[in-house]
A = this chain, B = another copy of it.
Amino acid sequence: MDRPAKRATSADVARVAGVSRTTVSFVLNDKPGQTIPEETRRRVLEAARSLEYQPHSSARALAAGRSDIVLLSLPAMPIGAGISRFIEELATALAEHGLTLVTHLSGAQARPLPAVCATVNASAVIGFEPFDRDTTRALHSAGAAFVFPFRTDDAPAMRSVGRLQAEYLIGRGHRRIGYAMPLNRGLHAMAEDRLYGATEACAEAGIDPPVVASTDLETATAARAVTEWTARSVTGVCAFNDETAIAVLAGMRTHGLAAPDDLAVIGMDDIPTARLTVPPLTTFSFALAELSKRQAATIVAGLTGSAPRIPSEDVGPRLVERASA
């Protein structure tokens, strides 16, 4: 906590550079269609730098009618390394186009998303959760030109997670699959999706659907889940994510069971600690970089009105084979 400092305005820059504010605006925004002499341009840039000029975003937003802000809404769930990285990549990709990403953790009592959207004047909002119709409308009337809820059909990658895990296990000869659901409510919707994918894979292989058991991040509940699986002769389990998988491993340990021989377990996300377990966790990692590039491309296209130049690289999860399955 310290004293504020006087901020330079575009008029100051103009004065120092000996040009008009318009010119300053043009060069600072690289306005296309204008032909500014190199010399003038240089002077303006120089003046801006020497004054540590930072455009006042509110004024800019007010005048231009849109802000450079993209709001990401995260539901109340733990932000693991996977999501962190996604966010980071997204922020980077957006930043390349001059867009700034801020996130809102939509906790229980916190302000409703539309209010936050209005307050920060976001011109696009991305949800890591689905939005209902009302929310979407409210978001628009709060000033967001674009809203991208997290749609499962948007991200083929999402549902396929469960599918890939199950297919891997089936490919290794397992005929009785278990699924470890997180007890955490915030994760439920996502987990259902993944489970659905696993169920499809089982159906296609002509085996029974996964035996699902829930667990939180405690050895005790995980141990109970393990009991259920072994009782029903499950030999391989797909865990919702790596943390859940780590819990399963811990639960197995209390029964004296070891992966992968007694029970194979496969995680999802490839969190940093996944390689530190015993045995190291076999898992999948999202091609987060690709996914976020896509999101960013879609958003940038929407915001600038340009053609959605969406990279079509493979975006599916990649297997990280270690020893647990």
Contacts and interface: CB of A to CB of B under 8 A. Distances in A.
Interface of A: 1-5, 7, 52, 54-59, 61-62, 67-69, 71, 76-81, 84-85, 87-88, 91-92, 95, 100-105, 107-111, 115-116, 118-121, 136-137, 140-148, 217-219, 222, 243, 246-247, 249-250, 253, 271-273, 275-278, 280, 302
Contacts of A107: 84-85, 87-88, 91-92
Q: Which 5 A-B pairs have the closest CB atoms?
A: A88-B107, A79-B79, A217-B272, A250-B276, A58-B61
Given A54-B118, A115-B100, A140-B2, A217 B276 contact: yes
A100 B84 contact: no
Contact of A54 (B2, B142, B273): B142
Contact of A62 (B5, B62, B145, B277): B62
Contact of A137 (B5, B58, B280): B5
Given A111-B100, A276-B217, A276-B249, A141 B105 contact: no
A257 B177 CA distance: 35
B103 A103 contact: yes
- A interface, over-half SS: mixed
Count of this chain's copies in the oligomeric assembly: 2
A92 B107 CA distance: 9
Given A78-B78, A91-B107, A246-B276, 17 more contacts: A52-B141, A54-B118, A56-B143, A59-B62, A71-B102, A78-B84, A79-B84, A87-B107, A91-B110, A95-B110, A102-B104, A103-B103, A120-B120, A217-B272, A219-B280, A222-B276, A278-B278
Contacts of A78: 78-81, 84, 271-272
A272 B4 CA distance: 40
Nearest to A54: B118
A100 B120 contact: yes
A36 B75 CA distance: 40
Contacts of A59: 58, 62
Nearest to A92: B109
Contacts of A85: 107
Contacts of A67: 58, 119
